[in-house]
Structure 1
Amino acid sequence: MAWDGHGKRQAGDLQDQGLEAKRPRKTETESKDLCGLCESVYAQLEGPGDKSKIRQGLHHLIVQLQDVSYGYRSIDCKVALKRQLLRLLPPLAKQISAASNKGDSLVEVVGSFVDCIVRSGFAQSSRDRRDIIASGAWLMCMEPLKAGKPEDVVSAVHIYLHLSDHVGFYDDFIGMHSEFWHPSIFREILKHMPTVLHLPDSLQADEWELRCPDIEAAIKCLFCFLLFWTAKEPENRFTFEIPEALPLLNAALDAIEKYDLLFGSEIGAKCRGDPLEELIRILGLLTQFVVEKIDSQETNEQNEEVMQQLQQHAAAVLRLLVRLLKLKIPTCGAKPEAITDGPIPVDERQQDSEWIQNLFERLSDEEPPVSAACLMDVFRAMVDMPLEEQRYRLECLAPMVPRFMAGFVDQLRQKTVPPELADFKIVMNNVLQECATSFALELLEEVSFYPCLLDFTTKRAMLHAQCDRVRLTQGSGDPIRIVVPRDNVLDGVCSTLNLQDSQARIDVPLEIEFRAGYSDDTGNELVDEGEDQGGPRRQWLDRACRYFIASDLFMSPAEDAAHLEFSQTSRQRGARGIIVPSPEPVCQCVQEDWTEQFELFGCVIGFAILNKETVPVHFGHNFLRSVFGLKTDTADLLPLLEHVDKTLHTKLTYILSGSYKDLGDTLEDVLEQSHLPRTFVVSESHCQELVRSTPLLEGGDRMSVTEENKEKFVQLLLDRILISGVAQQVQYFQRGLLRVVPHELVQRITGIMSVKEIELMLCGADGIDVDDWEKYTEYENGYTSESVVVRWFWEVVREMPQHMRAQLLSFSTGSSQVPSGGFRFLQPELFTIQRVGVTDRFPAAHTCANTLDLPEYTSKAVLEQHLRFALEETGDSFGLR
């Protein structure tokens, strides 16, 4: 191989040589003359051994070989000449070893001769290099290491690296000569390797591509050296200290980090990744070494000084592993196996996530091995990486994240994300939103203590992953099978769920079947066709929620609260309106089994949470806070009322402000105008004959509201409306929820989500965005987004009012609600439109798979007519579904 004085390959190298090579080619006759010269030198070596003639002959060969090109094609290779040259090496080595004067000038000539053979391209094959090593003549090339010029040292290092690749080291140790890997020689080589890898700032992309193999060769050489000595029996092993390898590894990583950032996209993928592959392989081996040594020290209880030294070695390797994660070279592939005895697998560009964990667990807690600034650099580099690269790197760093976040605990506890964690937050949310089910549980647990680091989508993904685990671990008993009519979806459900037993847990799956509404010839009522794989359950949850919010057990602030003077307002409730439980006296009056009904509603919401479904109900925040155990301070009641009843909130705020005095009004005037009680009594029903008024305190009916006690009145009124007046309703609803959802999961929900986020998770998004729906739709059986029928379909949907869009969504998926975050989070699959190659059928749906069968209609008008008929006439019956 040919290098200049700075370790740079010249055109004589087979790898770099091509048609552009300018060196003059020797004729076949001149090649034969060189073979004859080799014969002459060989005769001297085997005969009288005249050193002057041997030196003279070698000088002639060196001069002549400088103009001989080995050839860039196999037919151009001077094979006969090569064999003659390599034939001279064993007797030359023997001649030198027999000499009494080791400083004989023949040593230098032989070293130059071997160097010339390599430079001229006559040692390209593994066998050629193996023969050079076997001869021992290569040792003459190592002489400059002792006291040579810098350029000679660089040349010696390059020759050594070139020869080191003479055998498949990872699976074959035959022919690996111990003298080649002698520690005294290798240490000298290792000392100078960083110099060889030092690259000029003026390097260009094509030069960087040629230097990558140099980095690969240097690291591979170190790896082979370590494997050679560790393969021996323990008593014959050589002790290698990890700090000896650090200069080379840091130099290699410095070069890769600098130049891959500049030229990574301009060079070949293999050339770009090979040095990284070798770095990962050697660091895996060093990780294994240091882990074994630390464990051995702990077992043998050696002195503390040795243990501290080993921990320093572990920290150094750990820092290199972390720096590797900063590189943007693609790494994702099959995950390597955990560290085992023997060589690290070939062709892997990933470090195992266990490597960092194994090292980190063996370090003391006194000082972090990797600075926070270094980790921030890694996260900053990860922000722009593909998701899979982010996931892999974050999983590797997971053991270090808790200590990293510990430096910012005060800000995090104040629900503030410091700027230093901004990139970490972006990466972590990207990963957890997509990979929560398979990610490191320790990291999930640690991050969950600081909800401000988590986006809502991430929190939901984490909770959905836990819901999946709960369902997988549910009891092995038969599913609960509920058969109900469509016009009374709660018929007989309480007894089926065994709500009479206050201790009963519902820990088996739920299956729903709807009665078809007609009987067979024998008089038996039929059920809808199809198996419940999610669609019927979604529809049952949707209808059950609509039943409850339409009942008198719940009220909407839009109806005017009971504490206001009754007026004949519409009691129609929008599906998306806020609802709160009716006051306890009202519940007792309107339904005898009201406690059981609240418990059943809690079960329904529990099923929705556990099955990751959204429901058409918006609970008041005070009710949700109480159900999920979120504490509410007295000072929070008035702000909380604004979400429940804005009208009342405005009136009470006005009373407390006292600004009515500026208008000449009295408090009594304001209470009368606001339809609020003038004593400490609240009317909780519009029907005074059935439900009596409730005093806010003992003797409240005799206590007038005055300027002096108005704050106390407002506070008692807020407590009655938001807390004490719905305490029983909350208790029974919560009991039903906990029958279905484990207490640990409820605690996790309250630990990471605010009440607004809980509402969003339960209820999904407001309205239906057709653009978002179309964006996250898939097509099957011949349809594409550009199909004419598909374009007609979306035009018709855009022309529909919101209630019909909700009806279409319910018809196709079983639920009228859009998941929070939009249609990309539709469960269990994206909405799909499937082609049906007929024109005389109505659309049908497979709600379990969120699929709509859309016939290939002949016009937009026909499509709209058939779609509207399917929605209006067939309603929610499943038919083919």
Structure 2
Amino acid sequence: MLYERDARRKFLPTDHWHMTSFFDMTQFVPAVVSEEQRQQDLRHAGNADQNEDVDMYEDSSEDELEEHSSSVSSRMFARSSRYALMDRLRQQKQTSYRERLLATIGPKLEILRNMPYVLPFEARVRIFREFVHLDKLRRRDGFSDPDAWRANIINIHGGWGESNPARSALARHSAQIRRDSVFESAMDQFWELGEGLKEPIQITFIDDFGNEEAGIDGGGVTKEFLTCALLQVLSPDEEMFEANSENAIYPSPTKFDQTRVALRKQAVAEGSAEWDEHLASLLKRYEFIGRMIGKCLYEGILIDFVFAGFFLLKWALSASDAVYRANLNDLREMDEELYQGMLLLKNYSGDVADFGADFTVEDRVSRRGDRVLTETRNLIPNGDKIPVTNENRLLYISYVARHRLMVQPHLVTKAFLRGLGTIVDPVWLRMFNQNELQRLVGGDSSEIDVNDLRRNTIYGGLYVLGDDCEEHPTIKLFWDVVRSLPDDDRRLLLKYVTSTPRAPLLGFAQLNPKFSIRDAGSDEARLPSTSTCVNLLKLPRYSTKETLRDKLLYAIRSNARFDLS
């Protein structure tokens, strides 16, 4: 509880919880990864044995029932019940033994899962990336590189003929995405993949005129596809997500109710097939958003969104938020006005009964801009008949927080978490608190390290380093200018090139594709442009620092559209 309080509002030193003196960190990370691999192997072996046992039991039971279908005596029924009970006990013993064995071969994993905060955040990020890498190797027959994986599929199926299974297998992981509806195109073509979205995907963009855009997807187009799709569906206009006063977003608690109201206006019969189909479609959208964000986490692609802390707390809970404990502090993050009202009620010195409140809540069910419609809902059974008093006001406040944070958004949150958990194991996310999860998905908010960025930048065209490893004069000017910029402008530059203003958590060596600079001709009147899909800055060959600085600042501050050539 102390750690959770400290994670929400920092009051202890940054390294207060660390116990690095108890661990050799150079050995701890590989040891944890090795334990995870052994446990996964044991789980897979155990699941296979258990499934085999269940199948045998079901087969024998079916034969027995068929043989005695005409007259089942009480004696035979008792015997069958004893067999079923013995089988259940045997399976429980096997499960219990396997859990003890898992704990025995994974003592460091147990520390990581129960007290992850004793390890530095950077170490846990490295462990997370290693877990993902192991999962890729396990799923892709030992090939983590996308091209090697595709070549292996072709080799397995013996070529690339018209009717070869390799063609259809890889076609399922390829999509033509329309620029005007990136998310819808993605959902139409990738929904059926399910967990298969973990594998490498190939994207071809279709422009507004129906033509295929030129480009080879070496990872950059996939990055652009994921960020564009999420930008499209998480925008305020979609009303799928809401933003709090700090512009942190979370699934709209009222979206499900709003959809039902809209269906009633369209005279769709409640409970009909059309009604159910619309609501199921809405939940599928939330689930697919979860998959897309999971894909970004899985591939290490940063996205420029800030999520509300109370929502991030649920990410490690898979498709159930039953373990999440709603509280008044989280309510503040969602609705400052409601929080202040509850605080006033909590600290009111007079008779609370004067307010005339009962154990109900008013939920808005209409869309923004429409005439306000509300529904009164009981917080507890017969809540409309139970007044709020000085004695039960704390209980009332807790039920209001629970309703707003858990009950009202339950269906859409559950759908999102189901999608997220399809791609990223929730156990891996339990290593991080809500602030750390935000850094994991969006990057590091600390000051941009220019030296690290420079070390991990590659060059193209005339800017390629020669045999003497000397940088081109324009490149030297560029780094002098970047070093002189305040951090806010460095972030604008990073966002201009990569679409996110934050650095990767483990440094720019982790940026994929690499930050790159290519010459864009000798016309010094031109502005720098970018191809964000490959993190490429196209920089004209400016001859003076003043010109380069003026053109660069104009480009990054003007919010100009990216050159997606």
TM-score (norm 1): 0.42
> What is the aligned partner in structure 2 of residue 746 from structure 1?
426
Rounded to whole Å, the distance in 1 between the matches of 2:249 and 2:451 is 25
Structure 2 residue 129 is matched with structure 1 residue 449: no
Structure 2 residue 345 is matched with structure 1 residue 655: yes
Rounded to whole Å, the distance in 2 between the matches of 1:436 and 1:861 is 51
> What is the aligned partner in structure 1 of residue 314 from structure 2?
626
CA spacing shift, 1:681–1:604, aligned 2, 3 Å:
same
Answer yes or no: is the 8 Å Cα contact 1:667–1:707 preserved in 2.
yes
User: What's the CA shift for 1:790?
Assistant: 4.0
The one of 522, 542, 551 aligned to 1:838:
522
Structure 2 residue 392 is matched with structure 1 residue 709: yes
Structure 2 residue 515 is matched with structure 1 residue 824: no
The one of 354, 360, 363 aligned to 1:680:
360
Structure 2 residue 123 is matched with structure 1 residue 458: yes
Deviations 1:14-66, CA, capped at 9 Å, x for gaps: xxxxxxxxxxxxxxxxxxxxxxxxxxxxxxxxxxxxxxxxxxxxxxxxxxxxx
> What is the aligned partner in structure 2 of residue 484 from structure 1?
177
> What is the aligned partner in structure 1 of residue 191 from structure 2?
498
> What is the aligned partner in structure 1 of residue 220 from structure 2?
535
> What is the aligned partner in structure 1 of residue 21 from structure 2?
422
Rounded to whole Å, the distance in 2 between the matches of 1:874 and 1:484 is 23
User: What's the CA shift for 1:471?
Assistant: 3.0
The one of 233, 257, 266 aligned to 1:585:
257
Structure 2 residue 232 is matched with structure 1 residue 553: no
Rounded to whole Å, the distance in 1 between the matches of 2:529 and 2:32 is 34
Answer yes or no: is the 8 Å Cα contact 1:585–1:691 preserved in 2.
no
Rounded to whole Å, the distance in 2 between the matches of 1:653 and 1:784 is 63
Answer yes or no: is the 8 Å Cα contact 2:203–2:222 preserved in 1.
yes
Rounded to whole Å, the distance in 1 between the matches of 2:395 and 2:199 is 49
Equivalences for residues 434-445 of structure 1 within 5 A: 445=106
Higher relative CO (Cα under 8 Å, sequence separation at least 6) belongs to 2
1:463 partner letter: F
> What is the aligned partner in structure 1 of residue 267 from structure 2?
none
Ranges in structure 2 where 5+ consecutive residues have no aligned partner: 1-15, 40-104, 141-152, 154-168, 264-277
Structure 2 residue 285 is matched with structure 1 residue 597: yes
Ranges in structure 1 where 5+ consecutive residues have no aligned partner: 1-414, 519-524, 559-572
User: What's the CA shift for 1:735?
Assistant: 2.6
**Counterpart secondary structure, 1:600:** helix
Deviations 1:444-481, CA, capped at 9 Å, x for gaps: 95423212442211211122122223334446431522
CA spacing shift, 1:817–1:533, aligned 2, 3 Å:
farther
Rounded to whole Å, the distance in 1 between the matches of 2:447 and 2:181 is 27
Rounded to whole Å, the distance in 2 between the matches of 1:772 and 1:474 is 37
The one of 604, 613, 627 aligned to 2:301:
613
Equivalences for residues 191-590 of structure 1 within 5 A: 422=21, 424-428=23-27, 445-450=106-111, 451-474=116-139, 476=153, 477-478=169-170, 480-498=173-191, 505-518=196-209, 525-550=210-235, 551-558=238-245, 574=247, 577-583=248-254, 584-586=256-258, 588-589=260-261
User: What's the CA shift for 1:717?
Assistant: 0.8
User: What's the CA shift for 1:760?
Assistant: 2.2
CA spacing shift, 1:854–1:718, aligned 2, 3 Å:
same
CA spacing shift, 1:486–1:492, aligned 2, 3 Å:
closer
**Counterpart secondary structure, 1:618:** coil
> What is the aligned partner in structure 1 of residue 58 from structure 2?
none
User: What's the CA shift for 1:601?
Assistant: 0.5
Answer yes or no: is the 8 Å Cα contact 1:589–1:690 preserved in 2.
no
User: What's the CA shift for 1:602?
Assistant: 0.9
User: What's the CA shift for 1:504?
Assistant: 7.0
Rounded to whole Å, the distance in 1 between the matches of 2:519 and 2:34 is 35
Deviations 1:217-237, CA, capped at 9 Å, x for gaps: xxxxxxxxxxxxxxxxxxxxx
CA spacing shift, 1:701–1:757, aligned 2, 3 Å:
same
Rounded to whole Å, the distance in 2 between the matches of 1:437 and 1:762 is 21
Structure 2 residue 532 is matched with structure 1 residue 853: no
CA spacing shift, 1:483–1:807, aligned 2, 3 Å:
farther
Answer yes or no: is the 8 Å Cα contact 2:474–2:542 preserved in 1.
no
CA spacing shift, 1:809–1:779, aligned 2, 3 Å:
same
Rounded to whole Å, the distance in 1 between the matches of 2:374 and 2:477 is 57
CA spacing shift, 1:416–1:858, aligned 2, 3 Å:
closer
> What is the aligned partner in structure 1 of residue 9 from structure 2?
none
**Counterpart secondary structure, 1:582:** coil
Please give the root-mean-square deviation of Cα atoms over the aligned residues, in Å.
4.2
CA spacing shift, 1:684–1:425, aligned 2, 3 Å:
farther
1:705 partner letter: V
**Counterpart secondary structure, 1:490:** helix
> What is the aligned partner in structure 2 of residue 238 from structure 1?
none
**Counterpart secondary structure, 1:628:** helix
User: What's the CA shift for 1:729?
Assistant: 0.9
Rounded to whole Å, the distance in 1 between the matches of 2:196 and 2:478 is 49
CA spacing shift, 1:589–1:667, aligned 2, 3 Å:
same
> What is the aligned partner in structure 1 of residue 564 from structure 2?
878
1:766 partner letter: S
**Counterpart secondary structure, 2:122:** helix
Rounded to whole Å, the distance in 2 between the matches of 1:468 and 1:588 is 42
User: What's the CA shift for 1:598?
Assistant: 0.3
Deviations 1:161-191, CA, capped at 9 Å, x for gaps: xxxxxxxxxxxxxxxxxxxxxxxxxxxxxxx
1:740 partner letter: I
Rounded to whole Å, the distance in 1 between the matches of 2:530 and 2:35 is 35
**Counterpart secondary structure, 2:408:** helix
Rounded to whole Å, the distance in 2 between the matches of 1:590 and 1:607 is 32
Answer yes or no: is the 8 Å Cα contact 1:680–1:713 preserved in 2.
no
Rounded to whole Å, the distance in 1 between the matches of 2:22 and 2:444 is 28
CA spacing shift, 1:597–1:629, aligned 2, 3 Å:
same
Answer yes or no: is the 8 Å Cα contact 2:359–2:386 preserved in 1.
yes
CA spacing shift, 1:498–1:779, aligned 2, 3 Å:
closer
User: What's the CA shift for 1:731?
Assistant: 2.0
Count of matched residue pairs: 420
Rounded to whole Å, the distance in 1 between the matches of 2:309 and 2:559 is 37
CA spacing shift, 1:485–1:863, aligned 2, 3 Å:
farther
User: What's the CA shift for 1:732?
Assistant: 1.3
**Counterpart secondary structure, 2:205:** strand
Answer yes or no: is the 8 Å Cα contact 1:679–1:701 preserved in 2.
yes
Answer yes or no: is the 8 Å Cα contact 2:220–2:513 preserved in 1.
no
Answer yes or no: is the 8 Å Cα contact 2:315–2:429 preserved in 1.
no
CA spacing shift, 1:515–1:829, aligned 2, 3 Å:
closer
Answer yes or no: is the 8 Å Cα contact 1:809–1:816 preserved in 2.
yes
User: What's the CA shift for 1:850?
Assistant: 3.4
User: What's the CA shift for 1:516?
Assistant: 3.2
**Counterpart secondary structure, 1:488:** helix
CA spacing shift, 1:534–1:507, aligned 2, 3 Å:
closer
CA spacing shift, 1:713–1:817, aligned 2, 3 Å:
same
2:108 partner letter: V
Rounded to whole Å, the distance in 1 between the matches of 2:549 and 2:178 is 29
1:422 partner letter: S
CA spacing shift, 1:555–1:776, aligned 2, 3 Å:
farther
> What is the aligned partner in structure 1 of residue 75 from structure 2?
none
2:299 partner letter: N
**Counterpart secondary structure, 1:753:** coil
Answer yes or no: is the 8 Å Cα contact 2:241–2:250 preserved in 1.
yes
1:586 partner letter: Q
CA spacing shift, 1:726–1:735, aligned 2, 3 Å:
same
CA spacing shift, 1:748–1:437, aligned 2, 3 Å:
closer
CA spacing shift, 1:789–1:440, aligned 2, 3 Å:
same
> What is the aligned partner in structure 2 of residue 759 from structure 1?
438
User: What's the CA shift for 1:427?
Assistant: 4.0
